[in-house]
Amino acid sequence: MTFEIKDDFYLEGKPFKVISGSIHYFRVVPEYWRDRLEKLRLMGCNTVETYVPWNKHEPQEGVYDFTGGNDLRRFIKIAQEVGLYVILRPAPYICAEWEFGGLPYWLLQDPQMKLRFSYEPFMKKTANYFAQLFPQVTDLQITQGGPIILMQVENEYGSYANDKAYLRQIAQLMIDNGAEVPFVTSDGPWDDMLVNGTLPDIALPTINCGSDIKKWFQTLREFHGEKKPLMVMEFWIGWFDAWGDDHHHTTSVEAATKELRDVLAEGSVNIYMFHGGTNFGFTAGANYYEKLAPDVTSYDYDALLTEWGDTTPKYEAFQKVISEYVDLPQFELSTKILKKAYGSVKAGERVALFQTLDRLATPVHSAYPLPMEELNQGTGYIYYRSNLGGPRMIKDFRLISVMDRVNLFINEQPLMTLYDQEISEKQAFQLTAATNELGVLVENLGRVNYSVKMNHQHKGIKDGVIVNGAFQSEWDIYSLPMDNLDQVDFTGEYVAGQPSFTRFELKIDEVGDTFMALPGWGKGFVTINGFNLGRFWEVGPQKRLYVPAPVLNTGVNEIIVFESEGKVGETIEFSDQPDLG
C-alpha cells in the first residue's frame, strides 16, 4: 500500500483526510489500550497518533524495554486491528508534559551535553536508541502492510532552536533505520517557529494550535508557497494542570467544536488529546517560566475521553462534526469496565523513613554532595546526611544548585521546607544539641519538559551546601528512587513529624476502576501492589488518584503511602467518582 503527500494526502492514490486523535500508550494501562482505541474509531477517526518516550524505553543507558506497558509494537497492532492508521512521533524529544520531555536523565551525566543540537555525543546516543526502537516498528509501516502512515521528525523544534543540521541528522537517522513513510514536522504557527523548525524539502510542515484555525491555516498556506495539504498536528482541545493551580482546566465544548469544523473544512487534524490518561509513578514533567510548575498526576487534559476512559459531551459534539465527513462505524466495545466505591480503609503499619533508610538504600560517602544523575538515579527522592558539629548560630545557610523541593532536618527533626526559588535563599537557625546531624531530603518533582531550562535539570544537590559561608563536606548519600518498597521494614518506629511509610490492606471481591482520596495527608506518592499510582499533594487541584482496575486483585491489595511532610491521615478512601479539582 502507499501513502503519499502531494497537493493533498493520498492513500492508494485516492485523496485522504487524516482525522486522528492522540492516545499515549505509556499513559494508559495496556489492558485498556483496545478500549481507548475502539472509542477513537467509534467517534469516526481513521488514525491514532502517539509519541514515543525515549526515557521509558531506555531508562538506563544501554538497557532497553519494549515489554508490558512499553510494548509499542502491540499498541500499534491493536490500532490496526481496530481499523486505525497510525502517526508515529519517535522524537527523540516529545515534550508532552512528560518527565524531561521524554529524554533520559542519563544524558545529563555528560557535563558538556547539548540537548537537541548537532552535538556528536547526543547524536550518537540517539543513534543507539533508534537502532533499538525502529526494529520494533519498521515492518508496521503502510509500505509493508502495517498501519503507520506518517512519522514526525523531532517535535516543536522551532520553539527550541534553529539547528537545521541537527534536524537533517535526525531525519537521516530515521531513514537509515528503515523509515519509509512520509515525514512531517510540527510547530507553532507564530513568531519564527515555522522557519526554525521545518525541513520543507523532506518533511511536510504542520502546525500546533487550539484556536483561530482559519488564521493559522492561512499562515501555513503562505509558508508552504505552493499547494500542499494543511494539517493541525496538535489541535489543542483542553489543557493540563500543575500542582497549586486553583482549578482543573477545562475548555468550551462549543468553541472547540467550531474550531474542529474549521480544521476539517480545509485540511486534516490530529486532536490533542483524544484521551490523556495518567502520569503514573514519577513520569509527570514540569514547566518553568517565572516559577516551577510541576504537572499533576492526572493528564485528563479535558480531553474527549476522560482520564478514566468515559466519553464526554465534547466527544459527542466532535463525533457529530466528523460524521459529516465519514460514515461512523458501529460495533460493540470489547472491554467491560466497572467503577467501584470501596469505601474507607484504616491505616495499618507505619514507620518513619529514617528508621528504614538502610533497608532502602546503601549510602554512598562523598566529600561533597552528588546529584541524582551521578548516582545513576533518574527520579524519586535523594537524602543527604552530614555532621554539622556542636551548638552555635548558623547565620548563613544556603543550598547551591538544588532542585526541586527540600525538607531539612536537624537530628532527624524537621527544620524547614524549601521549594523552587526559596531553596537558594539565605537561611539562619540555631544549633542547640552537643552534636548536630543535618539531613536534606530532596524531591525531584519532574524535569522541565519545554524550553530553555532543559539543559539545567540536574536533581538533588549539584553544587553544595553552604554553612556559615563555607561549603559543608563529608556526606552520606542515599538514593531513593522508591522502586523497592518491598524492602520497607514496618517493624521500625514511627516518629511524628518525620517522613513515613504507611501500609494499608484493601480487601475486595470484585475489581473495578476506583478513585483514591487521602483526607488529612500532606504530600507524597502511593503504590498499590507495587504499582506506583503517582504523586498526591494537598495543594491540589487534583484531590483523588485514578486507580485502574487492572492494578487491583480480588482479595487482598497492599497499599503503601509515602508522605514527606509529617502530615498523615488515619484512613484512605475509595470512591467511584473522580475529583480533579
Catalytic residue set: 156, 234
Q: Which three cell numbers stand for residue 163?
A: 539547528
Say which residues have a Cβ less than 8 Å from residue 422's Cβ, sequence separation at least 6: none
Q: How many CA atoms lie within 13 A of 478 on its CB side?
A: 21
Which helix (H) or strand (E) segment is 471 a member of?
strand 470-471
What's the DSSP call for residue 212? -
Residue 515's DSSP bridge partners are: 546, 575
Q: How far, rounded to the nearest angstrom, does the alpha carbon of residue 63 sit from its chain's CA centroid?
A: 20
Which helix (H) or strand (E) segment is 258 a member of?
helix 253-266
Helices 213-224, 253-266: inter-axial angle, 10-degree rounding: 30
Q: Does the bond joining 327 to the residue before it have cis omega, within 30 degrees of 0?
A: no
Which helix (H) or strand (E) segment is 360 a member of?
helix 353-360
One-letter amino acid of 75: F
Q: How many CA atoms lie within 13 A of 491 on its CB side?
A: 2
Angle formed at CA 381 by CA 375 and CA 387, multiple of 5 degrees: 75
Terminal Cα-to-Cα distance of the chain (whole angstroms): 47
User: Cα separation of 212 and 210, whole Å?
Assistant: 7
